Amino acid sequence: MDAVLCARCKGKGLCGKTNCPIVASIKRLKEVTGRVKTDFFGSSPPSVFVGRIGYPDVSFGALAPAEEGNTAIYDSPSDWFSKNYSIDKIFDLRSSLINSSVKTNVYRSGSFLEKIQEIALASKPLDIEAKYDRPIKPDVNVDPYSRFAPIGPRAYMKELDICENPKVPMKVDKVVSDTDLKAVEAIGILDHKKLSENHIVKLLSTGLLGEEKKRKLVPTRWSITATDDMISKKYLEDIRNFDEVGQFLVFSSEYLGNHFEILLMPGLWAFECIEVTFPGSVWSPESKEPVMYKDYEKFAGRKTYASNVAGGYYATRLPVTRYLKNKKMQASVLSLREIYEEYSMPLGVWILRETVKDAFSKEPVAFDSLEAALMHMKSRLRLDFSVYRAESNLLKDYRCQRRITDFVKDI
């Protein structure tokens, strides 16, 4: 029971223990060398961060390494994946980002917010200069919930200057300027125009999207999941009207100890996300057996938050629905993720989004029967597949559900 709670809790403190093993293991990995003095100059990738602690009074700021020039790689998950960066490489990049921040109420405006919003609007790195009250001490912020990538030390600034004009894409400027546009509509437009989720999250979190009176700062952790959720729901409006996929299709990909097997089955839209953490992985530091957690939705969608898989559920569902929308078909979808001991540091839900996107960039393995598809998946997974069969709501429903072909002969 403790192992199950540990994997689902991810450091939230639900067990009441003061010595959380997940938090302790993360603290052991927090090492940033060097010190930054009270004056800072660097090129933001561009990147921003809005905290959640103390909400609605939160800290927000600009992220930048003490480096000039093209620093885009410091905040580019798609490049990390395509270049096959290791955990250490990603951690080194992210822990070098100085979080120059201030505290404010999420509804309050001011010069600091305007400058942070300029950074969020930008599509290219831009130089910033900050001044602090005291030297920055080495530290790194690793998110136990694994929504965002690690961030380097935070320092509260007394001054912030942007040393050049940000390059703002026209499609971004047009949507941000429309203060009558609801946030969900704005995100739909930006996604349709191929703006990255990473950029959309920055706009949403810094209060640049939505109707004028409703705009406010949104903690980065929340805006990541909100963006994934809103884009998926927009796709599903069309997907629910498409024809069903004609075969059983299996997609696979693996990155940094995160292995995915995704099955598309003929049927109406349904989605189940099952994750299994293996002993020694970041979510099961003290477990001796694999731990499973899952969430599920049927045709009508979820009415409550996917609290077991949490943000990973929505990050996985996004590339699934994007694939179905582009292929103009609907399916019942089973996503299996196994998390191995190689995944020793929570890097953020981008790793799910990019790995699943990679799976759908490949040709699927097609089967005429469910059993053949499941046997193929079984050969690529570590956990005894009988456990998946017993625990999957989707597989249970699929076997029990009667279809029109059951009543029609000679089709």
At residue 327, what are phi and psi to the nearest 5 degrees?
Answer: -85, -5
Q: Cβ distance 248 to 372 under 8 Å?
A: yes
Which pLDDT belongs to residue 29?
Answer: 46
When the pLDDT of each residue in the chain is averaged and rounded to a whole number, the result is: 90
Which pLDDT belongs to residue 242?
Answer: 98
CA dist 208 and 203 (Å) reads 5
CA dist 44 and 124 (Å) reads 9
pLDDT in tens, 275-308: 999 998 887 877 889 999 999 999 999 999 999 9
Which pLDDT belongs to residue 286?
Answer: 76
Q: Position of tokens 């009508």?
A: 300
CA dist 93 and 110 (Å) reads 30
Which pLDDT belongs to residue 34?
Answer: 54
Q: Tokens for 160?
A: 């912030």
Q: What residue segments make up the domains of the chain, in order of their start?
A: 31-233, 248-406
pLDDT in tens, 208-226: 999 999 999 999 999 999 9
At residue 305, what are phi and psi to the nearest 5 degrees?
Answer: -70, 140
For residue 59, list its beta bridge partners: 103
Q: Measuring CA to CA, which residue among 2, 370, 47, 18 is closest to residue 206?
A: 47
User: pLDDT-derived band of residue 137, with 50, 70 and 90 as boundaries?
Assistant: confident
pLDDT value at 269 more than 80: yes
**Angle between helical axes of 183-192 and 220-239 (0-180°, round to 10):** 70
CA dist 267 and 260 (Å) reads 21
Which pLDDT belongs to residue 405?
Answer: 45
CA dist 370 and 385 (Å) reads 14
- Lowest-pLDDT choice from 138-147, 154-163, 377-386: 138-147
Which pLDDT belongs to residue 17?
Answer: 59
Positive or negative, the CA dihedral 10, 16, 17, 19 is positive
Q: What is the DSSP letter of 42?
A: E
For residue 258, what are the contacts with CB-CB under 8 A and spacing of at least 6? 337, 338, 339, 340, 343, 351, 352, 355
